[in-house]
Amino acid sequence: MAEAFQPSDAELGDGLLDRTMNTCPQPVYAAMREHGSVIRMNEHSVLVARHGEVMEALRDPDRFSSDMDAVEMGNVRPLIPLQIDPPDHLKFRKLLDPLFAPREVARLEAEVRRLTNELIDEFADDGHVELNEAFAVPLPCTIFLALLGLPQRDLPRFLRIKDDIIRPPGMATREANAIRRRTAQEIYDYFEPVVEARRSEPRDDLITRLVDAEVDGHRLTSEDILDICFLFLIAGLDTVTATLTCSVAYLAQHPDDRHARADHPSLIPAAVEELLRWETPVPGVARVCRHDTEIGGVDVAAGTRVTVMIGSANTDGSEFEHADVVDFHREGNRHLAFGGGIHRCLGSHLARLELRVALEELHRRIPDYELEPGTVLEYSEALRNVEPLPLTWQVRE
Amino acid sequence: MRVQVDREACVGHGRCYALAPDVYGPDDRGHCEILVEEVPPELEDQARAGEANCPERAINISD
């Protein structure tokens, strides 16, 4: 743990970009909450830090919209359903929620376990691995391809596409946004013929189910399906990768906790939840203020970008008992790692399945790993991915 | 003990029926449906676990 500190306003502004914030954000969150419920970063943006106001923002999409103005992704139409406001949002969620409900997702478990073990087969006997490249990056992507009925040979292409949208070289520059727009067009161009092919030749895959889905007489257009697939690609891959690396990095450094989970896999689901709370791999979600309003005593003008710090909400002592302690036996865990309100992560149940199965299989097959000696962990900005994550273990004869 | 769910507040996190499947169940969208409104003593722990893990505080327990 880093030592608690009291940053100045300016330091707090810079803190988001600071390595400490990436590696060990919890004390920074505490300083933010101490500073205020809502912190003005500059003329055009505020940050929501306390649990109460985080919930207020997440639950009020009329004031705090997640539409296309909230974040630049290169897309030319709103991503569905994230960038759709009420009332249209509901008709899409009514159609999509059943496809991602827990009992639907549960049907994928055997396939997820098979793909997980295929990846572990490649390194289990090596005694060392860089977990991102060999496991945490390809796993959600191979599951995504299987779910959508796309060929596994397209894996490298999908990995490049998602990186070019989420973290193009230069991040926030004009050049980066040009790469985003070019890549976005590539996504539309890739999925368009797939959707048309499923219309004429249905298969047992998610795109076919999107083509067939109907609620209240409402069906999805081909453009709708492209806008849904685009969102899946940027919301469903890196998030699971980051959560896996945060979770394994934690367990690598806490051998007693790891051994207990390896010996008793039934303890893994609660560990998944507590690590989602503590690490909050997606620390903040983007909103834009629709009209002049007030939140947490701060006046916020229409057009202001609002970063809703769910990582801070998840470590707020006003909501969680012993909030700054990682407690795998926590009785109540109302964490917001998948957001809250109407835009609650559509893929949360799939993510939970992937995380549980990945940790079950990894610890069944490699129960006793450690960080490669001398490793200094680096957590990436905005999405807390631990890369590289080099692990070593004794290979059993 | 009685349990109720605020259907307006529930957004389908699904923690209740994952942890307490004898008290809470999913509807087609994965939102919460109460299976037993009058909770018998042997299910009270489950009912409380569902309430304590709902991120939206959509579940209300009364005695």
pLDDT at B29 over 80: yes
Predicted confidence band of residue A4 (pLDDT cuts 50, 70, 90): very low
Give the residue from chain B lying closest to A93, CA to CA. B29
* SS3 assignment, position A202: coil
Q: For the domain that residue B14 is a member of, what is the CATH number?
A: 3.30.70.20
What is the CATH number for A342? 1.10.630.10
* pLDDT recorded at residue A249: 98
pLDDT at B63: 86
**Residue at A298 is within a domain:** yes
SS3 A371: strand
Determine the structural domain holding residue A39 and report its residue range: 9-393
- Residue A127 corresponds to which tokens in the numbers above? 């005694």
Residues of chain A with Cβ-Cβ distance to B55 below 8 Å are 334-336, 340
Give the ipTM. Answer: 0.97
In a domain, A1, yes or no: no
Range of the domain at B41: 2-62
Start-to-end CA span in chain B (Å): 4
- Out of A97, A333, A342, whose CB is closest to B30? A97
Average pLDDT over residues A202-229: 93
CB contact under 8 A, A97 and B29: yes
Please state, rounded to an integer, the average pLDDT across all residues of chain A: 92
**Chain B nearest C-alpha distance from A146 (Å):** 22
A341/chain B closest Cα distance in angstroms: 6
Choosing among B11, B46, B51, which should be mutated to test the A contact, i.e. which has the most A CBs within 10 A? Answer: B11
B53/A101 touch (CB, cutoff 8 Å), yes or no = no
Counted domains in chain B = 1
Domain count, chain A: 1
Residue B32, pLDDT > 90, answer yes
Q: Answer yes or no: are the C-beta atoms of A356 and A381 closer than 8 Å.
A: no
Q: What is the pTM of this model?
A: 0.94
Cβ neighbours of B16 in A, within 8 Å: none
* The dihedral sign for the CA sequence A147, A153, A115, A347: negative
**pLDDT at B26 > cutoff 60:** yes
- One DSSP character per residue, A320-339 reads STTTTS--TT-S-----TT-
Separation CA A232–CA A89 (nearest Å)? 16
Joined together, the tokens standing for residue A147 give 């779910």
Q: Is the peptide bond before A269 cis (omega within 30 degrees of 0)?
A: no
Task: Flag whether A4 is in a domain.
Answer: no
Is A341 part of a structural domain of the chain? yes
